[in-house]
Structure 1
């Protein structure tokens, strides 16, 4: 291939491995000339990747699967040879909704089943009063944010399609939408939850890792046809991303990594806010309350970079549960084929064990079994899928 690689990204901390790989020279060391292109919306990133304006992209894992299945857009098979992040999302609520939830809390406020039940009571009370449904922002129909919100609510019987409103907003617009009252809450990746807290307009209710202990979030995505034609370039990209992820995960490097990510042409927020994300110690309330979790965002630790096809199967199961597609053997096979541990292993010259399915650690429902998605979905009372 000729010319620089054009790689699209959204200003989120889970683009860190890509950004640091370029700005610290890891891609150059692999002989790659890379141009990072900042975008605002996931539809822009998807479309430009699909038609070839981007060679690769920082992409929502479910979008890579949806593109390969032809859901919501044209069918373009995607390969994901590297996980850019495990976890990293959070649910942030307005002060008004936070106060209403705290009034209804009966138990541990950090237990998602407890807060989901509180939400159910708030929803019921608002319905009785004739108030408008609560509105939750999420980043895309095919997104972990959408599925995590739905999984959380539905555990307490809240129907996300009937009892509340879910609306799509680009990540950088979440904070302004909360401030203006257009949404009552949102689920988004870092740093936008922390930005809302710092502005005094939001409370972080849950880390996504409260809902699922381990969830694939963003991937390094390339078109399958492009990967087939450029195997050496794919391998070089994976190696550069792995080196960047290892750099980021070393505590002594996090100040520098945060400064790189904070640049206006990258994420464009204060470096201290980004550093909170990288350390997993976040301010969750305008009153200065902090909460710490070693699982808030995994960039390179615990095998986070190696794609696990079981994660893709779980995401496909959510698409089925919420009526975005039908459950078919070919659908499962196609979804799992998007996540390419073989390309990751080939790039590094080694093979690491993938995470076991039990590593999902969902707070509700049965342990996920990719070989019995039908049985898994039948265990849930709320959903849109048809057997």
Structure 2
């Protein structure tokens, strides 16, 4: 069974059913039934055996649409309360080619609808666009399966009444995909790889420089994955990573995609973030990083989105480009309650030679760390400085 092929076709099939008149929840249920049937009869088997009673399916997407539509009609007819819809959906369209990119794109927009919470949009995108099971999504997001099932059901109900003929917001879709990317890895699903797959699929459906920028950013960050942790699971800071362990093919692809996007002269925040990541990827050693250009790209990013987090990261870059005192000056106007503010302040104070302040700030940062690996890393930094005194 070609599971990847089935998952790649899922969003387009759901979108076609919705366009024909099914509400989103019913369409998603019908498509799940069709996927089960495809597995049962071997419709997605690349090498079907006639002796098993299985025959090749020439157009798998059209087959899935036909089966799912019939399942939807059966469910509609069985539900007396919905008989009024049958006048609109009772006639099955004639077999033939089915549209692809436009319908898939609409489904991305629907799953990232502004009426959904970020967590619901992520779950619905993984379910409807990604084709993951509820169990897989629950394990990846570290929540009980029952909780995830309720979240997905509520999300489907929320968007079921949304009109499907309105233009969508690409920026909202990209934010949802970036949230998926940042979920990381848990259970048997690698959400980083899944986010990259979904963003590639979106890039094939729409010609937009920010979609390309997000894909480039994901590839450049993902390229460093193998070097981010030591064998014992501890974090390895960027400056200390073994750059020979970086995925050079992913770096080259990311930079190529970014350059093509930037050439269109429609700069967006994901392109600017990718440009910063590319400067890190281009440097053969940490010392060779072009920090002046990094600061310039952070300035561009601030013009696009005046984010406190961007200002925090810019302070680090300023500290590398112009010295720790300049970095601390850039940090001075920011809210100390910002996530990782204490860690950045600790690093800059250490660079400035104030080890007492740095050690105290590392301890404070460790207390506020969002996960165990980061907490342990910051605790070790504090212990290292305290040992020097």
Same fold, TM exceeding 0.5? no
- Structure with greater proportional helix content: 2
Pick the TM interval, shorter chain.
under 0.3
TM-score normalised by length of structure 1: 0.25
If each structure's strand is expressed as a fraction of its own residues, which one has the higher value? Answer: 1
Tell me: higher relative CO, structure 1 or 2? Use CA pairs within 8 A at least 6 residues apart.
Answer: 1
